[in-house]
C-alpha cells in the first residue's frame, strides 16, 4: 500500500510502521498513564510500574527468557553498547580479547573497535561471499583471554542467518561470552535464548512494528555489567533514567503480536520475497541476490548489478529502499557489509536493499519490482534479455 506521498515501502529493515494495535496502546498510555513508575506512593505510580512489569514479561516471552533478565534501553544501539562496554569495563584487564565478524552492525563494530584504544585485542573476522563465518574461523579467533564475541542472528542487509548456537558452544569452551544482536529476527524467526546459548541479546521495538526509542538487552541471569548510564539506579542499576512507559507499552504489544503471529508472518514474507526475487531475476540480466543460497530470514533481498552506473537508488520513482544499513546511509560510504562480501566500492555503492513487510500485498511487490527494473534499465540501456544470478 502506498504511503501518503504515493511511495511503496521496501525499507522495512530500516524501520517498520507501528501496527494499529500498537498505536492504540501507546496513545492510551500517553493519555491515561502519566505517572512516574518510580513513585509508588500513589495508585498512578503503582499502575505505571505495573505497565513496565507487564511489558518486561511480554518482551521476555518473545525470546523465551525470564522477565528479570530484561533491561530496557532506548534501542538496540544503546543495548549493544551497554553489552560490549559493560563487559569490557569488568573484564578487559584479565580478558582483553573481543571478536566480531566484519558484517556486524556498526552498533557492534564501532564500540568493539574503540576498545582497541584501551588495550583490547580486537579481531574482526573476514567472511565468505555470502557473508558467512565458518565455525573453524570463529573458533580460531577465540582463546582463553577472549572476553566477548558478537554475532548477529539475522544480518540486517542480506538476511543471512548465523549459527548462533554453534558459536555459543565455541565461546563456552574458552569461558567467553557471546552477544547476539537479534534486532532483525522477531517475527521472522523463532527466538529462544536457551537454545541459542548466547549470554546477551539485543532487540529494538521499531524493527518489529513497535515505536522508535525503545529497545532491550537480555542479560543472562548471574552476569553483571558495568552500567554506562548512571543516576537513579533504574533497571536493576544497569541503566538509569525514568522508564519510557509509553514506549514499553508499544514494545509489549508489538512483541506479543510478533510471537503470536510468527508462523503466518514467516509464510507471508517468504511468499512475497520469492515473488519479488523471481520478478527481478527474470527482468535484469546479471542481477546478483546476495546470500541467496545461504539460509536467510524471509523479507530481505540485497541486490547488485555489476557495472551499472551510479544512481540506481536515486532513480527509484515510487519505492522507498536503501543502499544498506540506514545508520550508514547518512555517511555516504558504501555498505561495509557488501565490501566484506568482496564487492568493489562502485558496486557496493550502487546496491539496493529491499525489505518487505507483513502488511504488503502482491500488488505492492509487483510495483516494487517494476520500479527497480525501470530504474536499472534506464541506467544501463534497454537490454532486457537473459536473466540474473543468485549470488551464493
Tens-place pLDDT, residues 345-365: 999 989 999 999 999 999 999
What is residue 38's predicted lDDT score, i.e. its pLDDT? 93
Long-range contacts from 228-233, C-beta under 8 angstroms, 24+ separation = 228/81, 228/82, 228/85, 228/86, 229/82, 232/38
What is residue 328's predicted lDDT score, i.e. its pLDDT? 54
What is residue 386's predicted lDDT score, i.e. its pLDDT? 44
Whether domain 8-17+262-391 has CATH 1.10.3720.10? no
What is residue 310's predicted lDDT score, i.e. its pLDDT? 86
Residues 361 and 367: their CA atoms lie apart, in Å, by 10
Domain positions in the chain: 8-17+262-391, 20-260
> What residues contact residue 65 under an 8 Å CB cut-off, 6+ apart?
193, 218
Whether domain 20-260 has CATH 3.40.640.10? yes
385: pLDDT strictly greater than 60: no
Tell me what the mean pLDDT of segment 236-259 comes to.
Answer: 98
The average confidence (pLDDT) of the chain is 94
Residue with cell 567472511: 127
What is residue 312's predicted lDDT score, i.e. its pLDDT? 94
C-alpha cell at 153: 542472528
pLDDT tens readout for residues 84-140:
999 999 999 999 999 999 999 999 999 999 999 999 999 999 999 999 999 999 999
What is residue 309's predicted lDDT score, i.e. its pLDDT? 87
392: pLDDT strictly greater than 80: no
What is residue 384's predicted lDDT score, i.e. its pLDDT? 44
What is residue 387's predicted lDDT score, i.e. its pLDDT? 52
| Residue 180 among the catalytic residues | no
Amino acid at each position: 500500500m502506498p504511503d501518503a506521498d504515493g511511495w511503496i515501502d521496501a525499507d522495512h529493515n530500516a524501520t517498520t510502521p507501528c501496527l494499529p494495535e500498537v498505536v492504540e496502546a501507546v496513545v492510551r498510555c500517553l493519555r491515561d498513564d502519566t505517572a512516574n513508575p518510580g513513585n509508588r506512593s500513589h495508585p498512578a505510580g503503582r499502575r505505571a510500574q505495573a505497565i513496565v512489569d507487564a511489558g518486561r514479561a511480554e518482551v521476555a516471552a518473545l525470546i523465551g527468557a525470564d522477565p528479570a533478565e530484561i533491561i530496557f534501553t532506548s534501542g538496540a544501539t544503546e543495548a549493544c553498547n551497554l553489552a560490549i562496554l559493560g563487559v569490557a569495563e569488568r573484564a578487559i584487564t584479565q580478558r582483553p580479547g573481543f571478536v566480531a565478524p566484519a558484517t556486524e552492525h556498526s552498533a557492534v563494530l564501532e564500540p568493539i573497535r574503540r576498545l582497541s584504544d584501551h588495550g583490547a585485542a580486537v579481531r574482526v573476522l573476514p567472511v565468505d561471499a555470502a557473508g558467512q563465518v565458518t565455525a573453524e574461523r570463529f573458533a580460531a579467533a577465540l582463546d582463553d583471554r577472549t572476553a566477548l564475541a558478537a554475532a548477529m542472528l539475522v544480518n540486517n542487509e542480506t538476511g543471512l542467518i548465523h549459527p548462533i548456537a554453534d558459536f555459543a558452544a565455541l565461546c563456552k569452551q574458552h569461558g567467553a561470552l557471546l552477544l547476539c544482536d537479534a534486532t532483525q529476527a522477531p517475527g521472522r524467526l523463532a527466538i529462544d535464548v536457551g537454545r541459542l546459548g548466547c549470554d546477551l541479546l539485543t532487540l529494538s521495538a521499531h524493527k518489529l512494528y513497535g515505536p522508535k526509542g525503545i529497545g532491550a538487552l537480555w542479560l543472562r541471569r548471574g552476569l553483571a555489567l558495568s552500567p554506562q548510564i548512571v543516576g537513579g539506579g533504574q533497571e536493576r542499576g544497569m541503566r538509569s533514567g525514568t522508564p519510557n512507559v509509553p514506549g514499553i507499552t508499544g514494545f509489549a504489544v508489538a512483541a506479543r503480536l510478533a510471537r503470536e503471529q510468527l508462523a503466518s508472518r514467516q509464510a507471508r514474507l517468504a511468499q512475497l520475497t520469492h515473488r519479488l526475487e523471481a520478478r527481478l531475476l527474470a527482468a535484469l540480466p546479471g542481477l546478483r541476490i546476495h546470500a541467496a543460497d545461504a539460509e536467510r530470514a524471509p523479507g530481505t533481498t540485497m541486490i547488485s548489478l555489476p557495472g551499472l552506473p551510479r544512481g540506481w537508488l536515486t532513480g527509484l520513482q515510487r519505492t522507498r529502499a536503501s543502499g544498506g544499513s540506514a545508520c550508514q546511509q547518512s555517511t555516504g560510504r558504501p555498505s561495509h557489509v557488501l565490501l566484506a562480501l568482496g564487492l568493489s566500492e562502485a558496486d557496493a555503492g550502487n546496491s539496493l536493499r529491499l525489505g518487505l513487510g507483513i502488511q504488503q500485498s502482491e500488488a505492492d511487490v509487483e510495483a516494487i519490482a517494476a520500479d527497480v527494473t525501470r530504474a536499472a534499465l534506464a541506467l544501463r540501456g534497454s537490454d532486457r534479455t537473459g536473466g540474473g544470478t543468485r549470488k551464493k
